[in-house]
Chains A and B, each alone.
Chain A
Amino acid sequence: DIQMTQSPSSMSVSLGDTVTITCRASQDVGIYVNWFQQKPGKSPRRMIYRATNLADGVPSRFSGSRSGSDYSLTISSLESEDVADYHCLQYDEYPPTFGSGTKLEIK
């Protein structure tokens, strides 16, 4: 199975910060990486699809990038509504595999 190694597991952040979360794939997954935001008690919300594409309705302060097998989610000028858990997912091949998640907390 493809492993998605996500880091960091948690981050203490301030409003207005630029935040970057990374997933490293254990083998080539091409562009088939999604990023999800999840708030307590809610379903995951897709934020980025195919590594770099902003999903409908997602603020432009969110962006996705790829460098080789490293995939990153960046949030520019963090707002209070962005405090949540974030997950990556590879769906290039079965089984689809998620990263272990990143919890954003306010300092």
Chain B
Amino acid sequence: EVQLVESGGGLVQPGRSMKLSCAASGFTFSDYYMAWVRQAPKKGLEWVASISYEGSSTYYGDSVKGRFTISRDNAKSTLYLQMNSLRSEDTATYYCARPPFAYWGQGTLVTVSS
């Protein structure tokens, strides 16, 4: 059974950093691209970033480009999202997903507030 379990969310001040993790199981992690998708409170879904099988290619949404970094550790079957220079508009539930988005984690809430 495919499982994706996010962790690392919480309350953070504007301008600070936070790193999210997503532990994957039930499939061969290195065989799949992986992605982060977020959802601000009471809003729609927004794709954040994707990463290729070995991590050599990464893709970012315009709203996070230059501030967020997606990475992966295939030996640990874990996906990461390093978030720097956080803003209030980054407040959202962050989901780890396996493209083409058949599988999603339960989400982790990031709140950016002073």
Q: Which A residues lie at the B interface, using CB under 8 A? A: 32, 34, 36, 43-46, 49, 55, 87, 89, 91, 94-101
A18 to B35, CA, bound (A): 34
Q: Which secondary structure dominates where chain B touches chain A? A: loop
B101 CB contact (under 8 Å) in A91, A94, A99 = A91
Residues 60-73 of chain B: 1 if any A CB is under 8 Å from the residue's CB, otherwise 0? Answer: 01100000000000
In the complex, which residues 74-114 of chain B have their Cβ closer than 8 Å to any Cβ of chain A? 95, 99-102, 104-107
A residues less than 8 Å from B46 (CB atoms): 98
What is the distance, in angstroms, from A57's C-beta to the closest C-beta of chain B?
11
Is the Cβ of B61 less than 8 Å from the Cβ of A98?
A: no
Give the CA-CA distance A91 to B50 in the complex, in Å: 12
A102: nearest chain-B partner, CB-CB: B44
Query: A43 touching B95 by the CB < 8 A rule?
Result: yes
Sample of 24 A–B contacts (CB below 8 Å): A32-B100, A36-B45, A36-B101, A43-B104, A43-B106, A44-B45, A44-B104, A45-B104, A49-B102, A87-B44, A87-B45, A91-B101, A94-B50, A95-B47, A95-B61, A96-B35, A96-B99, A97-B47, A98-B44, A98-B46, A98-B47, A100-B44, A101-B44, A101-B45
Known: A43-B107, A89-B45, A95-B62. 17 other contacts (CB 8 A): A43-B95, A43-B105, A43-B106, A44-B45, A44-B95, A44-B101, A46-B101, A55-B102, A91-B99, A94-B50, A95-B47, A96-B101, A98-B44, A98-B46, A99-B44, A100-B44, A101-B44
